[in-house]
Amino acid sequence: MAGVLTESILNMLVNDMRPISMVEDEGFKQMVTTFHPGYTLPSRTNFTKLMEGKYEATFGKVKDALKATKNKIALTTDAWTSVATEAYLGITCHFISDDWELNSFCLTTMPLEERHTGTNIAAWIEQAVERFEIPPSKVVAVVHDNGSNVVLTAYILQEKHGWVSVRCAGHTLQLVINRALKHPQISKALGAARCLVEHFKSSELASSKLKTKQKQMGTPEHKLVQDVSTRWNSTYYMVTRLLE
């Protein structure tokens, strides 16, 4: 029974992406004791070892699955920055199973401490592919955004391995719409819309009065939406909510 409980807590930490230090929190300890008074909660060190073991086992399963498939594999790659301004590179692989089901595995989310040049990114992608023992001939394409360094990365990999370069349709659409939104009349209207939203977002009094009016009119008590420059649909949602 103790083993089942420990495994359950470990799965919770992994699936919910909780810090291992959570097992040392008093509230968590009290909750576990309430559920099972006779259970001795393993230490943080033990959970760290168990998580490392789970990682190795999962890593082996992914590697076996990639080795077992006879179909071609496509890669997607994206460099991004966390809220703590730390840069990472995510690499995911995708393939169709014999039952025509899409399978996807995250190969790595690696911190980037060197310059994000096309040559470096190409090398990091090759390292991830090699680590999972994927033959280069098995990779058919790399999907990426339109950043000049990543476009160069794709070119390097295409020249070296023959991997087809595929620009992300979503990112390309974003660039097209962004250009359209810069039209003077559209830009002016959106600027006014943003000023309205920012007013209600920054003023507790205005936000409270808006909520009161919504109650009086019997309309949904929805909040205004602030758009984000990298998501064109957020601008659409902002305007739609304002019109409402």
Do residues 189 and 148 share a domain? no
Domain identity same for 46 and 75: no
Residues 151 and 198 in one domain: no
My answer on whether 58 and 73 are in the same domain is: no
What tens-digit pLDDT sequence spans the chain (244 residues)? Answer: 678 999 999 999 999 999 999 999 999 999 999 999 989 999 999 999 999 999 999 999 999 999 999 999 999 999 888 888 899 999 999 999 988 999 999 999 999 988 899 999 999 999 999 999 999 999 999 999 999 999 999 999 999 999 999 999 988 999 999 999 999 999 999 999 999 999 999 999 999 999 999 999 999 999 999 998 888 999 999 999 999 9
Whether 160 and 205 map to the same domain: the answer is no
What is the domain extent for residue 152?
69-167
Q: Are 110 and 88 in contact (CB under 8 A)?
A: yes
Q: Dihedrals φ, ψ of 165, to 5°?
A: -90, 120
Looking at residue 82, its pLDDT comes to 85
State the total domains in the chain: 3
| Per-residue model confidence (pLDDT) at position 3 | 85
Give yes or no: residues 160 and 76 share one domain: yes
If asked whether residues 118 and 205 sit together in one domain, one would say no
**Contact, 88 vs 80, CB < 8 A?**
yes
Tokens of 42: 């393993």
- Return the closest-CA partner of residue 5 out of 38, 30, 27: 38
Q: What is the pLDDT of residue 81?
A: 86
Are both 95 and 145 inside the same structural domain?
Answer: yes
Q: How many residues does the chain have?
A: 244
Q: For residue 241, what are the β-bridge partners?
A: none
The residue from 167, 182, 210 where one domain ends is: 167
Tell the residue number behind the tokens 């109650």, with chain if given.
215
Q: Quick one: pLDDT at residue 118?
A: 93
Nearest to 9 by CA among 43, 56, 57: 43
In this structure, what CATH number is given to the domain that contains residue 110? 3.30.420.40
